[in-house]
Amino acid sequence: MSQFIKNFKKGGMVFAKEVPDPERFGIVEFDASGKAISIEEKPEKPKSNFCVTGAYIYDNRVVEIAKKMKPSKRGEIEITDVNQKYLDMGELNVNIIKGEWLDAGTFDSLLDAGNIVRDKGIHKNFDSLIDEAIKEFSEELKAIAKKKLL
């Protein structure tokens, strides 16, 4: 993901993954050429099996875009609406995740994700992975700030 952050310039970026139960997620629909054309939150009849995973990157305009959003029926500003706005502006980049992705949005999927992390021994490296990610992200932010100041 750090490569995406390094190359990010403007607009919004989301990551999508094909799932067997798309009605549980925000779904991105693609046209025949593979271009994203719509995003819908937890549709009863999904237009695709590609969910938006919850990893987002936005430019600074996201604050103003979110301020202009109307609350949903649940009384919340929905990130799906923000993503759709960027898509409507032609500024949303949707990247398909080809590798593994773990959902933790239900009790069962959270348990499954925990078991996978345990069984693969991933948790043994978490501290060093987190430290390395923080260090890398910090360096990237410093480089971006330096460019902006020059």
Residue-wise pLDDT for 34-84, tens only, equals: 999 999 999 999 999 999 998 899 999 999 999 999 988 888 888 999 999
Contact 29, 38 (CB under 8 A): yes
112 and 145 housed in the same domain: yes
Query: Confidence band (pLDDT; 50, 70, 90) for 125?
Result: low
3 and 51 housed in the same domain: yes
88 and 124 housed in the same domain: no
Query: Confidence band (pLDDT; 50, 70, 90) for 140?
Result: confident
Q: How far apart are CA 53 and CA 73, in angstroms?
A: 22
122 and 81 housed in the same domain: no
Q: How far apart are CA 5 and CA 14, in angstroms?
A: 11
Q: What is the mean pLDDT of residues 131-144?
A: 75
Closest Cα partner for 28 from 3, 63, 53? 53
16 and 78 housed in the same domain: yes
Q: What is the pTM of this model?
A: 0.73
27 and 3 housed in the same domain: yes
> Coil, helix or strand for 106?
coil
12 and 64 housed in the same domain: yes
Of 99, 115, 133, the last residue of a domain is: 99
Specify the number of domains making up the chain: 2
Identify the domain containing residue 108 by its residue range. Answer: 102-150
